[in-house]
Structure 1
Amino acid sequence: MLKDATTGYGLLTILLHWVSALLIFFLFGLGIYMTGLDYYSEWYHKGPALHVSLGLILLLLMVVRIVWRLVNKKPAALPNHSRTTLFLATLVKYLLYGLILIVIASGYLITTAEGKPASLFDIIHFPVITQLDTTNVDRAGLVHELLAWAIVIVAALHALAALVHHFVIRDQTLVRMLKPIKKMPPADEQSSPGNSR
């Protein structure tokens, strides 16, 4: 089932979640790799171009995720989830969203500092809104780096919590983000004698 329901997540939510996660960790690894490149390296220019393009794809995915959540049902909490658990889960989600958007924004400002648009594989060009001077580019670079580390740390803690729920608490928290809900049978079939047990 594509859409979410009160019983679990649909295919689109699950795909958006895991594709975004893979992109974030790949971008982080690529960013670390780029810091060790010298001018004569083949990836000295290829790496940043790929980093920018994938960062813009992540931006588009984040927009889709936010819109999808606004127009889509939110699955009900599992019975064993306490108010504290729900609060922490919500806090981590919004923290990750905020950090990701700030890192993307800072990356965009760094990329467009010379007056050139940010390019998504030379297909879509994101125009220059404002140009930073040298001092502010350095500040944006520091924000970009520090908050990228923050994203990875928070995401790792998020993954650890999911594993604890799966292997220690043994609930459906992780499973719901791995298996999309199946299409519900029509209401008349659910209430028919053959289906009541």
Structure 2
Amino acid sequence: MLKEQLLTAAVTGDAAAVREAVIEGADVDARDSRGRTALLLAVAADHVEVAQILVSAGADPDAPDAQHDTPWLVTGVTGSVAMMRALLPAGPDLTVRNRYGGVSLLPACERGHVEYVREVLKTGIDVDHVNDLGWTGLLEAIILGDGSERYQEIVRLLLAAGAAPDLADNVGVTPLEHAVAKGQHEIADLLRAAGAGRA
């Protein structure tokens, strides 16, 4: 009963009910039928206060669900900087990978979450992490982005953080080649300014 109270309250953002369940002894890492903990449910719905309560109670930011999502990884999907900050005190594993082999930086680059990218790069996360598709955050922003200002800013942030401008995908196509092929002229110029294509 406590488990259901905790999970339901996490989904709905009922911080008082979450706190009550924790005080009454609920297992903070109990899971629903899809393997999702209360913290993962709270993160997915961006219920920051609930997440803070759960983190204070010792909830695991790296507990994976059935599809290998964890609370920390989901912050990269939602792009919530407030949630990312709520989870950092729990000491999340910055190297944990999603089902595509990516760290939290990659879905944030794909989805154009500028402020998340800006903040997560301050944690020391690997700016050149390569996922199972052979893509880095830089490649995600170019291949899956639309070249708009927010994706240009993500490219700027990644390059400023030391991203390798010529790190190619697993078939040898470089970020610059992808940008040119997609007509992303501003991004191509940013890459060239960072030294891309000089080799």
* TM tier relative to shorter chain: under 0.3
Higher RCO (C-alpha under 8 Å, 6+ residues apart): 1
Q: Which has the larger radius of gyration?
A: 1
Structure with the higher fraction of residues in helix conformation? 1
Q: TM-score, normalised by structure 2?
A: 0.22
